[in-house]
């Protein structure tokens, strides 16, 4: 077991360096697409691993905040890079990716966490106050950014005018910053797991040294640079591949969200299995909030500066699925207890979303 952990650590140390070297090389010459995809996936996993190392050093709830921010930086970098690489397809990319991330988090990730935790522990508990605040913030952000553009009248939907886009970006930043302040400073005890639920061996592990944390910080930065530059190199290949398959444009958003959220999702599921559902929900909802609260402002700035219109409003089918997911999530998290049933419901909601994406 120890040898496997050491091998995993070495792999996570190698991929950031390998990714950075490949990213620099891609600026001078074309690279094999499959090699780029392999290195890109490894760099994403390594980035989240090193964010976890830093998070373990600083402790909860700052740790989940750092993880969410690291994932969001990768996502924003990918979206902005792909938007600049293929402007003709950029109008709906941010919307599709943000919506996909919200559906993955609210339904797939939360469903897996609830189901895996309930199978092992039957019933799990969490603090309703902090999770309720996170869900309320998420509801406002999703509706204002993904639904309201369809009903404004300054310009025809699903677009915001430049003034409206700037205002919504400011609102998103204010809401996310306020939530982060509440989570980490003013009411951080609302987001802390119960002390009796620390059954996972990693929960009792000594925090990494200052030297190890500094190394992880440097490798995290190298991973982020590698992800952004390699994504730009890979984007034409992905677009051509999806076109050959006849896949709808929204599938690209699903692929980006799945790639970015996979490592963090595994961490959340591990925490749920260890009866630390509070940590799982902090990770899930924190990632969803960071995705909208930081991605939309970044995309809005790019749109305004480059005069590139972006389509944010969802179609009717997607809006219905979003509202249904938010309503079900509010019911799931209403009483501070979860069972197998809630997990299965959320997984079925994700299956419906995925099916209607490929078969609209």
Q: How far apart are CA 175 and CA 90, in angstroms?
A: 26
Strand-pairing partners, residue 337, are 125
pTM above 0.85, yes or no: no
Residue 189, number of CB atoms within 10 A of its CB: 10
Domains in the chain with CATH codes: 2-358 (1.20.1420.30)
Q: How far apart are CA 302 and CA 175, in angstroms?
A: 20
Across the chain, where does the E strand assignment appear?
A: 124-125, 337-338
Strand-pairing partners, residue 125, are 337
Q: Would you write out the chain's pLDDT as a tens digit for each of its 360 residues?
A: 444 445 556 777 888 888 888 888 877 777 777 788 788 888 877 877 777 777 777 665 566 667 667 667 776 777 776 666 666 666 787 888 889 889 998 999 889 988 988 888 788 877 778 888 889 999 999 999 999 999 988 888 788 988 999 999 999 989 988 888 887 777 777 676 655 444 444 444 566 777 888 888 888 778 877 877 777 677 666 766 767 777 777 777 787 777 777 767 777 888 888 888 888 888 788 878 887 888 888 888 878 887 877 888 999 999 999 999 999 999 988 887 888 899 999 999 999 999 998 887
CB of 39 closer than 8 Å to CB of 19: yes
pLDDT at residue number 141 = 93
CB of 158 closer than 8 Å to CB of 310: no
Please give the helix or strand (H or E) that residue 49 lies within, else none: helix 33-58
φ and ψ at residue 338, rounded to 5 degrees: -135, 155
Q: How far apart are CA 121 and CA 339, in angstroms?
A: 9
CB of 52 closer than 8 Å to CB of 86: no
Q: Tokens for 207, please give them.
A: 């925090």
Among candidate residues 201, 199, 215, 208, the one with its CA nearest the CA of residue 2: 201
pLDDT at residue number 316 = 92
Q: Tokens for 40, please give them.
A: 């890109």
CB of 71 closer than 8 Å to CB of 267: no
φ and ψ at residue 334, rounded to 5 degrees: -75, -35
Radius of gyration of the chain (CA): 20
């Amino acid at each position: 077991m120890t040898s496997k952990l050491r091998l995993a650590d070495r792999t996570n140390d190698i991929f950031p360096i390998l990714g950075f070297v490949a990213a620099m090389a891609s600026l001078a010459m074309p690279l094999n697409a499959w090699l780029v995809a392999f290195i890109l996936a490894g760099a994403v996993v390594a980035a989240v691993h090193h964010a976890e190392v830093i998070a373990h050093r600083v402790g909860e709830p700052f740790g989940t905040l750092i993880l969410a921010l690291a994932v969001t930086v990768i996502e924003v970098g990918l979206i902005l890079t792909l938007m600049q690489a293929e402007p003709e397809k950029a109008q709906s990319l941010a919307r599709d990716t943000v919506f996909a991330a919200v559906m993955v988090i609210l339904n797939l990730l939360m469903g897996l966490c609830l189901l895996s935790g309930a199978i092992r522990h039957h019933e799990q508990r969490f603090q309703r106050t902090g999770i309720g605040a996170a869900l309320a913030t998420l509801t406002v952000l999703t509706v204002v950014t993904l639904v309201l553009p369809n009903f404004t009248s300054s310009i025809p939907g699903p677009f915001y005018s430049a003034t409206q886009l700037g205002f919504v970006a400011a609102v998103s930043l204010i809401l996310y910053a306020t939530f982060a302040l509440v989570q980490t400073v003013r009411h951080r005890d609302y987001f802390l797991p119960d002390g009796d639920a620390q059954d996972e061996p990693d929960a009792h592990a000594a925090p990494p040294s200052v030297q190890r944390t500094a190394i992880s910080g440097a490798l995290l930065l190298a991973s982020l640079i590698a992800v952004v530059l390699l994504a730009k190199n890979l984007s034409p290949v992905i677009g051509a591949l999806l076109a050959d398959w006849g896949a709808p444009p929204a599938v690209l958003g699903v692929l980006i969200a799945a790639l970015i959220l996979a490592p963090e999702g595994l961490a959340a599921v591990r925490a749920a299995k260890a009866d630390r559902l509070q940590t799982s929900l902090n990770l899930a909802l924190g990632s969803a909030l960071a995705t909208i609260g930081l991605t939309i402002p970044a995309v809005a700035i790019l749109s305004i500066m480059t005069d590139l219109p972006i389509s944010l409003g969802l179609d009717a089918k997607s809006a219905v699925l979003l509202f249904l997911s938010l309503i079900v999530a509010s019911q799931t998290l209403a009483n501070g207890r979860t069972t197998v049933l809630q997990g299965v419901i959320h997984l079925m909601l994700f299956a419906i979303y995925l099916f209607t994406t490929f078969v609209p």
